[in-house]
Amino acid sequence: MITQRAPNPFNPGSPVDPSDFVGRVTELENFKQKLMQTANGSLANMAVAGGYGVGKTSFLHKCKAIAEENNALAIYFSLNEIDDLSKERLAAFLIRRVKEKVREEMILDRLSNEIFKIIQRIKIKAENVELSLSEEDENAFPNLQSALIAAWKALKGAKKAIIFLLDEARVLERNRAELLLYIRAVLEQLQIERIPIMILPAGKLTITGPAGTGFSPLVRTFQPAVLENFSREEANAFITKKLQQAGVEIEQATFEKIYNVTEGHPFVLTAYMNSAYSRLLLEQTKLMKAHFEATDVDFVRSDLAPFFARFYDEAGRRSRKILSVMAEVPNGEISLSELAKKLERGMNELSPHLGKLVQDGSIIRIDRGKYKLFHHLLGEYIMNRQQRNNSEA
């Protein structure tokens, strides 16, 4: 008799453990190739782009694990950790994280104390920014690239490369992509001396746009890998692997239903499976159709409400009207001309709002002048919100 069930293996909002990672085969091979190039002195960088909840952080953690398996010093952090991001603060953070990672490796006996002492002394000259864990100034370097070169010279006998994995990197595109241009200039100087350092930014990045915007430095320096929803095969593999860890089976006929509901969106899929798993009785060892039907009752209203709120509740008044119209049409798809007719507004007036909604990830531009909600359940959430608002009025 079962007295205790294995913990729920589905944890929406948390990155997937690298050992549980499935799919993204092409993107991971791309990373491996660029890692090999970089280790051989021909610097190759890439970016990871995609909407909210599509798995960018999990992808970065998988890349970090691969880099460490190949004896690189892999440094992951989120740019949300840095307030008032500037070139100086970014440089400070990169050097500080190198120091912290080397200290961690020394504690684990992967790097020597001598290397740590050398790295500890590295400092960059800058005004009003504390850039070093050391208080001595005589070894300060004039810029980020010279500090990174010094760090690499200390590490090159023990590591093959230094890899920075920057999560929540959309902030780099602000102010006409000044920070992206700064990073590109640093990388160009490192390339001259064949210093094997790779930078991999990930976030809701702009990968299309006119010349002179964030498009040019991003695409030219960081070839984008765009993460999209799981295919059916990837979704099934993810579900099966997680359930096997918990010793739970699943009715094969439910896979199609799961994919139709979630569209393979990693966050929505994980949340859906989390809810269904929580409905298993103690003596049950197999997920059945009934568990998912029970989940359907309040899945959008309850489980997905915090996730969808950012797309609708936090949007501007005109953007909410656009989203409300799209929620009412089949599949959430509409053309700009149809939208203008329904809202009795000019197309030129609506275009900037549509552009902002695309940028924020609420809608997808599927063709010239044609848009759709990024997920059909967002439409259901919007309809529920409107009904609640009407009942409270």
CATH for the 232-303 domain, from 1.10.3470, 3.40.50, 3.30.1240, 1.10.8? 1.10.8
In our burial notation (b when 16+ CB lie closer than 10 A, e otherwise), range 160-188 reads: bbbbbbbbbbbbbbeeebebbbbbbbbbe
Q: pLDDT category, 283, cuts 50, 70, 90?
A: confident
Confidence at residue 216, expressed as pLDDT on a 0 to 100 scale: 55
| pLDDT at residue 381 greater than cutoff 60 | yes
Q: pLDDT category, 387, cuts 50, 70, 90?
A: confident
Confidence at residue 139, expressed as pLDDT on a 0 to 100 scale: 61
* Residues listed for the chain: 393
Cβ burial, residue 1 (10 Å; 0-12/13-18/19+): exposed
Confidence at residue 1, expressed as pLDDT on a 0 to 100 scale: 47
Q: What are phi and psi of 379, to 5 degrees?
A: -60, -40
pLDDT digits (tens, 9 = 90+) for 322-368: 999 999 999 999 999 999 999 999 999 999 999 999 988 999 999 99
Looking at the domain covering 24-226, what would its CATH class be? alpha beta
- 315-388 CATH fold: Arc Repressor Mutant, subunit A (1.10.10)
Locate the domains of the chain by residue range. Answer: 24-226, 232-303, 315-388
- In this structure, are strands 197-203 and 46-49 parallel, antiparallel, or unpaired? parallel
CB 161 within 8 A of CB 124: no
Alpha carbons 105 and 94: distance in angstroms, whole number: 16
Q: What is the mean pLDDT of the chain?
A: 90
Domains 24-226 and 232-303 share a fold: no
Q: What is the mean pLDDT of residues 14-23?
A: 92
